[in-house]
Amino acid sequence: MRKRLWQVDQILVDLEDRDATVSIVHLASLSEVIVKFRLSPKQMENGALPLRKRIECLAADIILDLGSFLDSLPD
């Protein structure tokens, strides 16, 4: 079984400005990564649970993109 290395710690959504802040913690090192982004009006149309899952997926994609970019840099 694959270990979970990251855990979503906190999600904050400013409904007026449509800003999302996601705190993700690396379970092995206890490092924290905070991802902030703005949601489109269309993304805000559904209920709270689908919105939370969508925000978690967007934050995970951002973290993976950042990790891929950092891995591609020369030492």
In the structure encoding, which two tokens stand for residue 21, read together?
């802040």
For the residues of 26-71, what is the DSSP string, one character each? Answer: ETTT--EEEEEEE--GGGGSS-HHHHHHHHHHHHHHHHHHHHHHHH
Q: Is residue 14 part of a domain?
A: yes
User: 43 in a domain, yes or no?
Assistant: yes
What confidence score (pLDDT) does residue 1 get?
Answer: 60
Q: Is residue 1 part of a domain?
A: no
Domain that holds residue 60: 6-72
Side chain identity, residue 8? V
Q: How many domains does the chain have?
A: 1
* pLDDT at residue 18, rounded to an integer: 92
Q: Is residue 75's pLDDT more than 80?
A: no
> Is residue 46 in a domain?
yes
Mind listing the pLDDT tens digit for each residue in 5-58?
788 999 999 989 999 999 999 888 898 999 999 999 988 888 888 888 999 999
pTM score: 0.79
In a domain, 66, yes or no: yes
